[in-house]
């Protein structure tokens, strides 16, 4: 996983967490769900990068 990918994924996760928190504070279920989805997408991207890295080492 390249450093730029790690930074981008971490940024997406932080942005998702911020959206989720803002949604909770404002009682905006849509924003909260969007934040959770952003975090999940970031986790999936990170997992995909780890799989690619595992195959590159062989």
Render pLDDT for 14-29 as a digit per residue (tens, 0 to 9): 999 999 999 999 999 9
Domain of 47, in residue numbers = 3-56
Single pTM value for the model: 0.80
H or E element, residue 27? none
The total domain count for the chain is: 1
* Distance in angstroms (rounded) separating the CA atoms of residues 8 and 12: 6
State the angle between helix axes of 29-56 and 3-26 in degrees (0 to 180), rounded to the nearest 10: 160
Average pLDDT by stretches of 10, the chain with 58 residues: 80 95 97 96 90 78
**Per-residue pLDDT at 58:** 56
């Amino acid at each position: 996983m390249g450093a730029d990918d790690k930074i981008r994924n971490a940024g997406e996760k932080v942005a998702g967490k911020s959206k989720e928190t803002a949604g909770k504070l404002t009682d905006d279920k849509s924003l909260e769900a969007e934040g959770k989805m952003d975090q999940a997408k970031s986790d999936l991207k990170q997992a995909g990068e780890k799989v690619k890295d595992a195959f590159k080492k062989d």
